[in-house]
Structure 1
């Protein structure tokens, strides 16, 4: 298929614009302002990834260069929110990588239940770090509700989802989703845990009461609570390697003895952190805290 003259010209213009931004000396001043005005620490992200995400907003606002976008950012407070949304990766769905959730349901949760069978205080604490719009958090709540059944009230359940993006957290708290993110949810689960509202699905009150959401910067605000299961998938892969290792060590510190840690399928444990966890299911990137 041949391209017409207009399509060729458009492609050439886009290529020129990309090269122009790559060579724009105002990128460094823009990074400083982003850090100062949004609290988003640009230096901890991989340069290529960070630049690509910023360029999304530069083009969306029809800014000719970084200097023009910087002027817009300074005078338009709403652009701060749009920029944070572009910088944070919020691709999510219920039971993303279903095989990982099957292991959690069939092995991890039963292990946690059995290990607390003789305890006076039966608690299970779970943290979804970088929870985006909450699909992962509610998926975990469904599993716990399904496994514990009538025994649910005998346990102190704490499931917390954290993210740096306030807009995503607001959506997570509402618990209203379109059908495209429920492709891994079977009919029975939809009927038991969702309420159909026109073209959307509302999370049931019983699940919403099991979870809570909180804004949290995992880099600058180490978590002092202790958890039995921490899931952080496809979030820190965009950080520099030294930051990734630092965060993995922080997650290790935040886990209870024999706590479980889950990372993304494309991620690996780095440096010292690789020696602090032992594989439980390497294919699903599921590890146990070494004591």
Structure 2
């Protein structure tokens, strides 16, 4: 099967899953590799036969949906964004929480994959910010649809390449060498809670002052699904809470739930 065959198939299938072809264009090989493995499992010869199977009913669509999950992640991904969170956003949110008499600052990492993003927040808080706000704890709720990725996150063992963007001092402080890999030390893991959830269907309970939804909904989901998800996220944020997307993502036109933050950093304030 040629690349053109795969492109044609994805352009046909993705909209039926409320997914956007432009978001998958550069990562399609990862998706195609999974679908190819699925064809072997089903003993199907080509994509035409797979389309016939999909046309027979909804059962196989959930398997195809699972093939289309992208899970590229690393610690401190988009360094300037995390620098901004460390220097501006988290201190402001922490001051507000302290002034309100709260003892916990709650964050939600959406589509957390194997845990690099929520653990980055935990390391940042304990290595840098926590001492400035005694009596205030950081709680990170990390959600993902994929149980295997969450299992990897709980293990907290990573290759050196996943840590390349973290400040060296934080790597030395937070990680213990384990063979050719690195294990996150227990004190940096306790403030993160893992929940298996599909963002398209549900959200964790309570309100979150900070929500990170990066390289997921606004990249891969179609606009109607983006709007639905943004409403769900907004319903779990107080006014003035901060939403963080990736730098290349933009909110759908006409979205009035959030006010834009600094240009090029993908941060928004809940109205």
Choose which of 253, 266, 270 in structure 2 pairs with 1:285. 266
Q: Could you tell me how far apart the structure 2 residues matched to 1:250 and 1:112 are?
A: 21
Structure (1 or 2) with the greater helix fraction: 1
Q: Could you tell me how far apart the structure 1 residues matched to 2:240 and 2:206 are?
A: 15
Q: Could you tell me how far apart the structure 2 residues matched to 1:116 and 1:225 are?
A: 15
Q: Could you tell me how far apart the structure 1 residues matched to 2:136 and 2:193 are?
A: 17
Q: Which has the higher contact order (CA 8 A, sep 6+)?
A: 2
Q: Provide the aligned length of Structure 1 versus Structure 2.
A: 253
1:218 maps onto 2:192 in alignment: no
SS of 1:157 mapped into structure 2: strand
Q: Could you tell me how far apart the structure 2 residues matched to 1:81 and 1:146 are?
A: 41
Q: 1:20 to 1:190 in 2, by over 3 A?
A: closer
Q: Displacement of 1:143 after TM fit?
A: 1.3
Q: Could you tell me how far apart the structure 2 residues matched to 1:186 and 1:253 are?
A: 34
The aligned residue for residue 203 of structure 1 is 184
Unaligned runs of 5+ in 2: 54-61
Q: 1:204 to 1:20 in 2, by over 3 A?
A: closer
Instruction: Please say if residues 231 and 263 of structure 1, whose CA atoms lie closer than 8 Å, have aligned partners that are also in contact.
Output: yes
Unaligned runs of 5+ in 1: 1-13, 32-40, 72-79
Structure with larger Rg: 1
Q: TM-score, normalised by structure 2?
A: 0.82
The aligned residue for residue 224 of structure 2 is 242
The aligned residue for residue 100 of structure 1 is 81
The aligned residue for residue 44 of structure 1 is 18
Q: 1:149 to 1:57 in 2, by over 3 A?
A: closer
Q: TM-score, normalised by structure 1?
A: 0.77
What value does the CA root-mean-square deviation take over the aligned residues?
A: 3.0
Q: Could you tell me how far apart the structure 1 residues matched to 2:76 and 2:6 are?
A: 41
Q: Displacement of 1:153 after TM fit?
A: 6.1
Q: 1:246 to 1:21 in 2, by over 3 A?
A: closer
Q: 1:179 to 1:260 in 2, by over 3 A?
A: same
1:190 maps onto 2:171 in alignment: yes
